[in-house]
Amino acid sequence: MLTHAEDVNYIHFACHGVYDPRNPFASSLQLADFGALTLSDVMSRLRLSGANLVCLSACETGITESQTTPDEFLGLPAAFHQAGAPAVSSTLWAVDDRVTMILMDRFYHFFRGADMSFPAALPRGSAVAQGRDLRGCGRAGRHVPGPSRLPGDQRFGEKDVS
């Protein structure tokens, strides 16, 4: 994964995320065949010169530490920016897998299929997943979980990613 990351436009992590408040550099994405990809690994080993968007579809990937470094935010989104990604999507708390799947499916539908910008497609996908905008649902009458199960989405970088 690390060797091919600079050759792709979009990187999507659908895995388990861990935020370590005592040592933010140990915060990580738990990858099936790789193990832990830590914040430190991202900052020191990844080069994302070709990436337009990194999507962190995992728990707690948007949490940042700002107490010990009040002039900077230390977290996975900042690490991916430092590695070269102009835009990062992340979550603030534990996320429900099923609801996140709906959100991501609709996000990519609007982002790639309907040619919406990244800043417009993410809230639209979230609205569908919450059941507030069933126009993007695809099937009438499909059960959509309520908003309490949704990830706390964050966007970092407002570049018009395409």
Whether 33 maps to a domain, the answer reads yes
With respect to residue 86, please indicate whether it lies within any of the assigned structural domains.
yes
Same domain for 15 and 79? yes
How many folded domains does the chain comprise? 2
Model pTM greater than 0.85? no
Q: Is 158 within a domain?
A: no
Considering the domain architecture, whether residues 74 and 101 belong to the same structural domain is answered as no
Q: Is residue 24 part of a domain?
A: yes
Asked whether residue 15 is domain-assigned, the answer is yes
Q: Which among 46, 62, 91 is the end of a domain?
A: 91
pLDDT at 138: 46
Q: Which residues contact 96 (CB under 8 A, 6 or more apart)?
A: 145, 149, 150, 151
Look at residue 135 in the predicted model and tell me its pLDDT: 52
Is residue 139 one of the residues assigned to a domain?
A: yes
Asked, for residue 51, whether it belongs to a domain, the answer is yes
pLDDT for 145: 41
Whether 21 and 77 map to the same domain: the answer is yes
* Domain-located, residue 125: yes
- 50 vs 57: CA distance, rounded Å: 20
- Residue 14 pairs in a beta bridge with 57
* Strand locations in the chain (E): 10-14, 16-18, 28-31, 35-38, 53-57, 88-91, 153-156
Do 74 and 144 lie in one domain? The reply is no
Instruction: Based on the fold, state whether residues 104 and 58 are members of the same structural domain.
Output: no
85 lies in the same domain as 110: no
pLDDT of res. 100: 84
Tell me, yes or no, whether 78 and 14 share the same domain: yes
pLDDT, averaged per 10 consecutive residues of the chain (162 residues), comes to 80 91 91 92 92 90 74 83 91 81 89 87 82 50 40 50 53
Residue 105 is part of which domain span?
97-151
Radius of gyration of the chain (CA): 16
Tokens of 160: 């018009």
